[in-house]
Amino acid sequence: MLGGLIYEAMGKTTGMRVLDDNGTVEMTLEEKGNVFGIECTLTLTVVGKNRPNGMQYSEGRGILITKDGDAATLTMSGISISKGLPPRSSVRGATIFNTQAPKLARLNSVVCVFEGEVSEDSSYTIKDWEWK
């Protein structure tokens, strides 16, 4: 069951490297949003592998920093479902956070599920909810 909204942001792919002949790519993503209603930025590195069915499986690591300087790291995994010409897609997956910051401590006890929508220009929106 989904719980409350934990994180919401808008972002853009800011870099990409092709890692092999199978189309595995490494992407750098930058987001601006809110975690528990606190303004923050998030930088994420994701490695995506194409699947035979046209989907892409991705795993990534990132760091979230609030406007007050509190930080949390995260790991994520998910799939991208094409919605036309790349990079237009829907993204679904799970995120796990880790932090030492007292204001963000609740992140240590939740698993989040996310959904996002990626546009033709590589910009996107993303939302993470608590998974109860």
Q: What is the pLDDT of residues 19-35, one digit of tens each?
A: 999 989 999 999 999 99
Average confidence score pLDDT of the chain = 96
d(CA 102, CA 26): 32
pLDDT for residue 86 is more than 90:
no
Say whether pTM exceeds 0.95: no
SS3 content of the chain, % helix, strand, coil (to 5): 5, 70, 25
pLDDT for residue 85 is more than 90:
no
What pLDDT sits at residue 21?
A: 94
d(CA 81, CA 102): 36
What pLDDT sits at residue 54?
A: 83
DSSP annotation of 3 reads: E
